[in-house]
Amino acid sequence: MPEHSCDTIQRFCRLCERVLPLVDFCKSRNSKFGYAYRCRECQRELNVKYKERRKKYYAKRRAEDPGYLRIIKKARVKYNRSEKGKEASKRNHKKFRTKELVDDRKYYHKNRKKRIMVANEWRLNNIERARKHTATSLAKRKNNIIYNLADRIRQSLRRCLIKNGICKTNKTFELLGYTSQELFNHLKKFLENQCVVCQAVKINISNCHTDHIIPCKTAKNKSDAIKLNQLSNLRLICANCNLRKGAKYE
Protein backbone atom coordinates (compact mmCIF):
# COMPACT_ATOMS: atom_id res chain seq x y z
CA MET A 1 0.00 0.00 0.00
CA PRO A 2 1.57 3.36 -1.02
CA GLU A 3 2.49 5.81 1.71
CA HIS A 4 0.94 9.28 1.75
CA SER A 5 2.12 12.41 3.52
CA CYS A 6 0.42 15.72 4.28
CA ASP A 7 2.42 17.23 1.40
CA THR A 8 0.90 14.90 -1.22
CA ILE A 9 -2.73 14.72 0.03
CA GLN A 10 -4.84 17.71 -1.02
CA ARG A 11 -8.05 19.26 0.31
CA PHE A 12 -10.57 21.81 -0.95
CA CYS A 13 -10.99 25.04 1.04
CA ARG A 14 -14.65 26.04 1.10
CA LEU A 15 -13.91 29.74 1.66
CA CYS A 16 -11.24 30.63 -0.89
CA GLU A 17 -12.20 27.64 -3.11
CA ARG A 18 -8.61 26.55 -3.64
CA VAL A 19 -7.22 23.01 -3.62
CA LEU A 20 -4.25 23.00 -1.23
CA PRO A 21 -1.92 20.45 0.45
CA LEU A 22 -3.23 19.02 3.72
CA VAL A 23 -0.44 20.79 5.68
CA ASP A 24 -2.20 24.09 4.87
CA PHE A 25 -5.21 23.03 6.98
CA CYS A 26 -5.52 22.95 10.77
CA LYS A 27 -6.51 19.74 12.52
CA SER A 28 -10.10 19.60 13.76
CA ARG A 29 -11.80 16.99 15.94
CA ASN A 30 -15.21 18.14 14.68
CA SER A 31 -14.43 17.40 11.04
CA LYS A 32 -15.17 14.01 9.49
CA PHE A 33 -11.65 13.73 8.04
CA GLY A 34 -9.81 15.24 11.02
CA TYR A 35 -8.95 18.54 9.28
CA ALA A 36 -10.84 21.84 9.10
CA TYR A 37 -12.67 22.81 5.91
CA ARG A 38 -10.94 26.23 6.01
CA CYS A 39 -7.26 26.64 5.08
CA ARG A 40 -4.89 28.28 7.57
CA GLU A 41 -4.82 31.56 5.64
CA CYS A 42 -8.62 31.86 5.63
CA GLN A 43 -8.74 30.87 9.31
CA ARG A 44 -6.27 33.64 10.20
CA GLU A 45 -8.43 36.21 8.40
CA LEU A 46 -11.51 34.96 10.28
CA ASN A 47 -9.63 35.20 13.59
CA VAL A 48 -8.66 38.83 12.90
CA LYS A 49 -12.28 39.73 12.06
CA TYR A 50 -13.54 37.88 15.16
CA LYS A 51 -11.12 39.78 17.43
CA GLU A 52 -12.25 43.09 15.94
CA ARG A 53 -15.91 42.18 16.54
CA ARG A 54 -15.15 41.18 20.16
CA LYS A 55 -13.22 44.41 20.72
CA LYS A 56 -16.14 46.53 19.50
CA TYR A 57 -18.63 44.44 21.48
CA TYR A 58 -16.78 44.87 24.79
CA ALA A 59 -16.24 48.59 24.13
CA LYS A 60 -19.99 48.98 23.61
CA ARG A 61 -20.83 46.98 26.75
CA ARG A 62 -18.40 49.04 28.85
CA ALA A 63 -20.01 52.24 27.60
CA GLU A 64 -23.53 50.96 28.36
CA ASP A 65 -22.68 49.34 31.71
CA PRO A 66 -19.37 50.31 33.41
CA GLY A 67 -19.83 47.51 35.97
CA TYR A 68 -20.14 44.80 33.31
CA LEU A 69 -16.45 43.82 33.32
CA ARG A 70 -16.44 43.58 37.12
CA ILE A 71 -19.30 41.07 36.92
CA ILE A 72 -17.42 39.03 34.30
CA LYS A 73 -14.21 39.11 36.34
CA LYS A 74 -16.04 38.05 39.50
CA ALA A 75 -17.65 35.11 37.68
CA ARG A 76 -14.27 34.08 36.23
CA VAL A 77 -12.59 34.17 39.66
CA LYS A 78 -15.44 32.09 41.13
CA TYR A 79 -15.05 29.48 38.38
CA ASN A 80 -11.25 29.36 38.72
CA ARG A 81 -11.59 28.68 42.45
CA SER A 82 -14.13 25.89 41.95
CA GLU A 83 -13.06 22.23 41.72
CA LYS A 84 -14.00 22.14 38.04
CA GLY A 85 -11.95 25.27 37.36
CA LYS A 86 -8.93 23.92 39.25
CA GLU A 87 -9.03 20.65 37.31
CA ALA A 88 -9.27 22.54 34.00
CA SER A 89 -6.36 24.77 35.05
CA LYS A 90 -4.15 21.77 35.90
CA ARG A 91 -5.07 20.05 32.63
CA ASN A 92 -4.34 23.11 30.50
CA HIS A 93 -1.15 23.91 32.43
CA LYS A 94 0.23 20.46 31.72
CA LYS A 95 -0.88 20.58 28.07
CA PHE A 96 0.36 24.05 27.13
CA ARG A 97 3.20 24.80 29.58
CA THR A 98 6.06 23.97 27.19
CA LYS A 99 4.62 26.06 24.35
CA GLU A 100 3.91 28.99 26.68
CA LEU A 101 7.46 28.96 28.04
CA VAL A 102 8.94 28.90 24.53
CA ASP A 103 6.63 31.71 23.38
CA ASP A 104 7.40 33.79 26.49
CA ARG A 105 11.14 33.35 26.02
CA LYS A 106 10.92 34.30 22.33
CA TYR A 107 8.86 37.38 23.21
CA TYR A 108 11.34 38.34 25.93
CA HIS A 109 14.34 38.14 23.58
CA LYS A 110 12.46 40.08 20.91
CA ASN A 111 11.33 42.80 23.36
CA ARG A 112 14.09 42.61 25.98
CA LYS A 113 14.64 46.36 26.40
CA LYS A 114 10.91 46.99 26.68
CA ARG A 115 10.44 44.20 29.27
CA ILE A 116 13.34 45.50 31.39
CA MET A 117 11.98 49.05 31.20
CA VAL A 118 8.48 47.87 32.25
CA ALA A 119 9.94 45.82 35.12
CA ASN A 120 12.03 48.76 36.37
CA GLU A 121 9.04 51.08 36.12
CA TRP A 122 6.87 48.63 38.09
CA ARG A 123 9.55 48.35 40.76
CA LEU A 124 9.76 52.14 41.15
CA ASN A 125 5.97 52.39 41.45
CA ASN A 126 5.71 49.41 43.83
CA ILE A 127 8.92 49.70 45.82
CA GLU A 128 7.49 48.26 49.06
CA ARG A 129 6.03 45.20 47.31
CA ALA A 130 9.32 44.65 45.48
CA ARG A 131 11.32 44.88 48.72
CA LYS A 132 8.91 42.48 50.44
CA HIS A 133 9.26 39.97 47.59
CA THR A 134 13.07 40.20 47.73
CA ALA A 135 13.10 39.81 51.52
CA THR A 136 10.80 36.76 51.31
CA SER A 137 13.03 35.12 48.71
CA LEU A 138 16.21 35.79 50.72
CA ALA A 139 14.60 34.48 53.92
CA LYS A 140 13.53 31.30 52.14
CA ARG A 141 17.07 30.74 50.86
CA LYS A 142 18.45 31.34 54.36
CA ASN A 143 16.01 29.13 56.26
CA ASN A 144 15.45 26.28 53.79
CA ILE A 145 18.66 24.46 52.82
CA ILE A 146 16.97 22.26 50.20
CA TYR A 147 15.46 25.33 48.50
CA ASN A 148 18.81 27.14 48.70
CA LEU A 149 20.72 24.34 46.96
CA ALA A 150 17.95 23.77 44.40
CA ASP A 151 17.82 27.48 43.53
CA ARG A 152 21.57 27.49 42.87
CA ILE A 153 21.15 24.67 40.35
CA ARG A 154 18.17 26.40 38.71
CA GLN A 155 20.24 29.53 38.16
CA SER A 156 23.26 27.55 37.01
CA LEU A 157 21.28 25.62 34.39
CA ARG A 158 19.47 28.74 33.20
CA ARG A 159 22.74 30.68 32.74
CA CYS A 160 24.29 27.71 30.97
CA LEU A 161 21.40 27.45 28.50
CA ILE A 162 21.14 31.21 27.90
CA LYS A 163 24.89 31.38 27.18
CA ASN A 164 24.32 28.89 24.35
CA GLY A 165 21.21 30.68 23.06
CA ILE A 166 18.80 27.97 24.25
CA CYS A 167 15.33 28.56 25.74
CA LYS A 168 14.59 26.71 29.01
CA THR A 169 11.24 25.04 28.29
CA ASN A 170 10.78 22.73 31.28
CA LYS A 171 11.18 22.78 35.03
CA THR A 172 14.81 22.38 36.09
CA PHE A 173 14.49 19.04 37.81
CA GLU A 174 12.32 17.62 35.01
CA LEU A 175 15.21 18.33 32.65
CA LEU A 176 17.87 16.99 35.02
CA GLY A 177 16.04 13.81 35.99
CA TYR A 178 16.41 14.06 39.77
CA THR A 179 14.62 15.88 42.61
CA SER A 180 15.65 18.68 44.96
CA GLN A 181 15.62 16.14 47.81
CA GLU A 182 18.04 13.88 45.91
CA LEU A 183 20.25 16.92 45.29
CA PHE A 184 20.31 17.66 49.02
CA ASN A 185 21.02 14.00 49.88
CA HIS A 186 24.02 14.10 47.52
CA LEU A 187 25.47 17.42 48.76
CA LYS A 188 24.82 17.13 52.51
CA LYS A 189 27.90 14.90 52.93
CA PHE A 190 30.03 18.01 52.21
CA LEU A 191 28.33 20.10 54.93
CA GLU A 192 30.01 20.35 58.35
CA ASN A 193 33.19 18.79 56.88
CA GLN A 194 36.45 20.32 55.72
CA CYS A 195 36.59 21.74 52.19
CA VAL A 196 37.74 18.91 49.89
CA VAL A 197 40.05 21.31 48.02
CA CYS A 198 41.92 23.33 50.67
CA GLN A 199 41.13 21.20 53.77
CA ALA A 200 41.26 24.45 55.79
CA VAL A 201 37.65 25.63 55.95
CA LYS A 202 34.69 23.89 57.57
CA ILE A 203 31.83 23.94 55.07
CA ASN A 204 28.41 25.33 55.96
CA ILE A 205 25.56 26.62 53.81
CA SER A 206 26.60 30.28 54.20
CA ASN A 207 30.30 29.98 53.24
CA CYS A 208 30.15 27.43 50.42
CA HIS A 209 29.64 27.50 46.67
CA THR A 210 28.15 24.73 44.54
CA ASP A 211 31.08 23.71 42.36
CA HIS A 212 30.81 22.02 38.97
CA ILE A 213 33.83 19.72 38.80
CA ILE A 214 33.80 20.01 35.01
CA PRO A 215 32.90 23.72 34.52
CA CYS A 216 29.59 24.72 32.92
CA LYS A 217 31.56 26.96 30.57
CA THR A 218 32.52 23.85 28.57
CA ALA A 219 28.86 23.23 27.58
CA LYS A 220 28.20 23.63 23.86
CA ASN A 221 24.53 22.59 23.70
CA LYS A 222 21.50 21.64 25.79
CA SER A 223 22.67 18.05 26.24
CA ASP A 224 26.02 19.24 27.63
CA ALA A 225 24.29 21.68 30.01
CA ILE A 226 22.10 18.91 31.44
CA LYS A 227 25.04 16.52 31.73
CA LEU A 228 27.21 19.07 33.57
CA ASN A 229 24.46 19.66 36.15
CA GLN A 230 24.12 16.00 37.07
CA LEU A 231 24.82 14.98 40.68
CA SER A 232 28.11 13.29 39.82
CA ASN A 233 29.52 16.66 38.67
CA LEU A 234 28.41 18.64 41.74
CA ARG A 235 30.09 19.26 45.09
CA LEU A 236 30.25 21.92 47.80
CA ILE A 237 33.55 23.73 48.35
CA CYS A 238 34.44 26.95 50.15
CA ALA A 239 33.85 30.24 48.34
CA ASN A 240 37.56 31.12 48.11
CA CYS A 241 38.46 27.81 46.46
CA ASN A 242 35.62 28.09 43.95
CA LEU A 243 36.50 31.69 43.04
CA ARG A 244 40.15 30.75 42.66
CA LYS A 245 39.26 27.77 40.48
CA GLY A 246 36.99 29.81 38.21
CA ALA A 247 36.14 28.01 34.95
CA LYS A 248 39.16 25.70 35.13
CA TYR A 249 38.95 21.92 35.39
CA GLU A 250 41.16 20.71 38.23
pLDDT in tens, 16-47: 999 999 989 988 888 878 899 899 999 999 99
Domain extent at residue 36: 8-62
* Domain annotation covers residue 224: yes
Using CA atoms, how far residue 234 sits from 98, 143, 174, 197, in Å, is: 27, 22, 17, 13
What confidence score (pLDDT) does residue 5 get? 53
**Can you give the CATH number for the domain in which 20 is found?**
3.30.60
User: Which band of pLDDT confidence, cut at 50, 70 and 90, is reported for residue 233?
Assistant: very high
Contact 218, 180 (CB under 8 A): no
What's residue 1's pLDDT?
37
Does residue 154 lie within any of the structural domains? yes
In the predicted structure, residue 4 carries a pLDDT above the cut 50: no
Residue in 202, 214, 206, 210 with CA at minimum distance from that of residue 235: 210
Given pLDDT bands bounded at 50, 70 and 90, which one contains residue 250? Answer: low
Identify which of 160-164, 170-174, 241-245 has the greatest average pLDDT: 241-245
Answer whether residue 174 is part of any domain: yes
**Euclidean distance between the first and the last CA atom of the chain, given in angstroms as a whole number:** 60
Asked which of 25, 43, 62 is the last residue of a domain, the reply is 62
What are the pLDDT digits (tens) for 180-232? 999 999 999 998 889 998 988 899 888 899 999 999 888 899 899 999 999 99
Domain limit, last residue, from 44, 62, 80: 62
CA distances from 16 to 33, 68, 91, 125, 200 (A): 19, 38, 36, 51, 78
- Is pLDDT larger for residue 51 or for residue 69? 51
pLDDT over 90 (residue 164) = no
Is residue 182 within 8 Å of 213, Cβ to Cβ?
Answer: no
Q: Does 77 reside within a domain?
A: no
Domain count, the chain: 2
**Nearest alpha-carbon partner for 200 in 237, 234, 149:** 237
Q: Could you give the angle at the alpha carbon of 193 between the alpha carbons of 191 and 194, nearest 5°?
A: 125
Predicted TM-score (pTM) of this structure: 0.58
Task: Please identify, among 40, 62, 84, the residue that sits at the C-terminal boundary of a domain.
Answer: 62
Q: pLDDT band for position 88 (50/70/90)?
A: very high
Residue 101 lies in a domain: no
In this prediction, residues 70-82 reach a mean pLDDT of 90
